[in-house]
Amino acid sequence: MKILFVCMGNICRSPTAEGVFRKLLEERGLSEEIEVDSAGTGDWHAGAAPDPRSTEAAARRGITLQGAARQVKFEDFYIYDLLVAMDRDNVHELLALAPDGDLAEKVVLLREYDPASADSDDLDVPDPYYGGPNGFDDVLDLVDAGARGLLQALRPA
């Protein structure tokens, strides 16, 4: 199983989701079964490390953010089993890039998997880039809940 987490610039939300999910996989001994990566719908941060504020917030919870930002590619639809978007704008961008309808079905919103969000009209993980310092911790909370739900959906036992 291969999962690609996607946000806008690939320096805040999607590397956070990748790091959170990677830690959950390690804790459960599933790192060899499920591969994760992250990307952005835009290319303006290509090659950049995760945002230091995201990295610091994650580190306080024992989560490591790594890698360099990259833009989603057409080929990612063939490589990954799921493309997990952080918000509806990301979904829209991914669906526009999808090679066909069958591959477009791989696009999901992360918070769709958060049981506490089941009745919510807002399933977006907000972009903390221009917000205050608490935004990065808020994103971690939302991402953690969605990641746990996603893992449960993939591995119910």
Q: Which helix (H) or strand (E) holds 4?
A: strand 2-7
Rg of the chain in Å (alpha carbons): 14
Please indicate whether residue 127 is annotated as part of the active site: yes
| Residues 104 and 91 sit within 8 Å (Cβ to Cβ) | no
Catalytic residue among 37, 51, 87, 127: 127
**Count, residues in the chain:** 157
Residue 23: both structure tokens together: 């830690």
Catalytic residue among 12, 13, 51, 53: 13
Q: Count Cβ atoms below 10 Å from residue 26 Cβ, excluding itself.
A: 10
Pseudo-torsion of CA 87, 49, 105, 109, nearest 10°? -30
Active site residue ranges:
7, 13, 127
